[in-house]
Amino acid sequence: MWFGNLVTMRWWDDLWLQEAFATALTERACSVGGALVDQFKSEAWIHLSGYKRWGLAEDMLQTNHKILAECQSTDTAEQSIDGITFGKGSAVIKQLIFLMGWEIFSNGLQIYFRKFKWQSATLADFIFSL
């Protein structure tokens, strides 16, 4: 939840990024660490896999949409709160972490959060930071 508090999306189109951070990085936080965290590793992975399945299932429906939603107004924003936003979005973040490696991805996050702290940002801002 703090992702949206620290850096808010400029418009509802980028809602997925905020929710994907929360979902994917929760799994990441539960997957690393000492003995206390070890008991949550497999549970966190199963939880994230469930989100991914939810996203893929909704992606096969006629109501599918891009992860980056096209919200013309705040009235349509609620329609993009679904499995694609949470599940597919978090799978994209997880894949970025895998491709870039945690250290590089984490450095990009630090740049992003430092630069846009208490402001609004876009997907392009995030990608540029990475």
With a cut of 70, say whether residue 37 has pLDDT above it. Answer: no
Give the C-alpha distances (Å, rounded to integers) separating 84 from 33, 42, 60, 112, 114.
Answer: 29, 23, 10, 23, 28
pLDDT digits (tens, 9 = 90+) for 44-101: 777 778 888 888 898 889 988 888 878 888 887 777 788 888 888 888 998 999 999 9
Assessment of whether the complete model's pTM goes beyond 0.85:
no
| Domain boundaries along the sequence of the chain | 6-129
With a cut of 60, say whether residue 36 has pLDDT above it. Answer: no
Q: What is the CATH number of domain 6-129?
A: 1.10.390.10
